[in-house]
Amino acid sequence: MKLATLRLGGTTAAARVEGDEAVALAASDVGALLRQDGWQAAAAADGARHRLSDVDLAPVVPAPGKIVCVGLNYRNHILEMGRELPEYPTLFAKYPEALIGAGDDIELPKVSSAIDWEAELAVVVGSRVRGVDHAAAEAAIAGYAVLNDVTVRDYQYRTKQWLQGKTFEATTPFGPYLVTPDEFALDAEIVTEVDGEVMQQSNVKDLVFGPVQLVSYISEIITLNPGDVIATGTPGGVGHARKPPRYLTAGSKLVTRIDGLGELVNIAKDPS
């Protein structure tokens, strides 16, 4: 099953995607849908139909209670950054104000010119879990989506704590859909293009800590609730690691794609 959050005349609605149509559901967004008991049945219900080409997509979960991000989680990116493989996941947070839709503009911060791309597989939680084993963690995954953890590098490295470079407002595209685990294989290609040039190209099977491991590990620390998001980390090819470094500028077209999940297409714009 494929789910999306539609923008409809000043409101939003969760929807099931069927081909080139979106079937509106009785929930304000995908996060609200996942918080319903028996959300799978609610997601299968009938409703008003809209052509996907006629609707705008919000972030697939517009306001997650938590966005937990994982750093240094692709083997090739860890080696690119000159580090050793970690024993435990590196975790940091992002806030919902950072999220934008699959086709929205990225707002370039006025305070920096070091804006980088980071294609990521996002895991969306579908049930409440705390301190669970791998079997329960796997069952708690509602689905997967595409996310780009657009990063303000100079702010990220001002201190040893990364948060300030990771959660600038209106910088993080997330979507276009949530695809349930039965329709997505964890051996998919992940790609970033900037102005038509491939910058990142890898496979999600290169993750050091996979989705199930991450749900289980994070649930040891804090309760994960329906609609919470885990951004699993980025592969090699980020702009900051290039010589010389390359960054997004006004007018840059950022395309983030994961096979089986769709793509995000976002233009970087100076703030108005």
Evaluate if residue 79 carries a pLDDT over 90: no
Query: Does 85 lie in the same domain as 7?
Result: no
Kindly give, in sequence order, each residue whose CB lies less than 8 Å from that of residue 36, ignoring residues fewer than 6 positions away.
27, 42
> DSSP strand E in 97-188: where?
99-100, 106-107, 115-116, 119-125, 141-148, 151-152, 172-179
Query: Does 227 lie in the same domain as 146?
Result: yes
| pLDDT bucket at 261, cuts 50 / 70 / 90 | very high
Query: Does 70 lie in the same domain as 185?
Result: yes
Q: What is the pLDDT of residues 216-235, one digit of tens each?
A: 999 999 999 999 999 999 99
Q: What is the pLDDT of residues 37-52, one digit of tens each?
A: 999 999 999 999 999 9
Residue 137, domain extent: 60-269
Query: Does 108 lie in the same domain as 239?
Result: yes
Query: Does 151 lie in the same domain as 37?
Result: no
Query: Does 215 lie in the same domain as 127?
Result: yes
∠ at Cα 216 (237, 146), nearest 5°?
35
| pLDDT bucket at 24, cuts 50 / 70 / 90 | very high
Query: Does 228 lie in the same domain as 163?
Result: yes
Please say which residue of 13, 38, 58 terminates a domain.
58
pLDDT at 180: 98
Evaluate if residue 81 carries a pLDDT over 80: no
**Residue in the structure block whose two tokens are 């006004």:** 250
DSSP classification of residue 52 = G
| pLDDT bucket at 55, cuts 50 / 70 / 90 | very high
Query: Does 174 lie in the same domain as 228?
Result: yes
Q: What is the pLDDT of residues 104-131, one digit of tens each?
A: 999 999 999 999 999 999 999 999 999 9
pLDDT at 68: 98
Helix (H, G, I), strand (E, B) or coil at 260: coil
Q: What is the pLDDT of residues 152-196, one digit of tens each?
A: 999 999 999 999 999 999 999 999 999 999 999 999 999 999 999
Evaluate if residue 268 carries a pLDDT over 80: yes
Query: Does 241 lie in the same domain as 117?
Result: yes
| pLDDT bucket at 209, cuts 50 / 70 / 90 | very high
Query: Does 137 lie in the same domain as 3?
Result: no
- 193, containing H or E segment: strand 189-194
Evaluate if residue 272 carries a pLDDT over 80: no
Kindly give, in sequence order, each residue whose CB lies less than 8 Å from that of residue 155, ignoring residues fewer than 6 positions away.
111, 112, 164, 165, 168
| Count of domains observed in the chain | 2
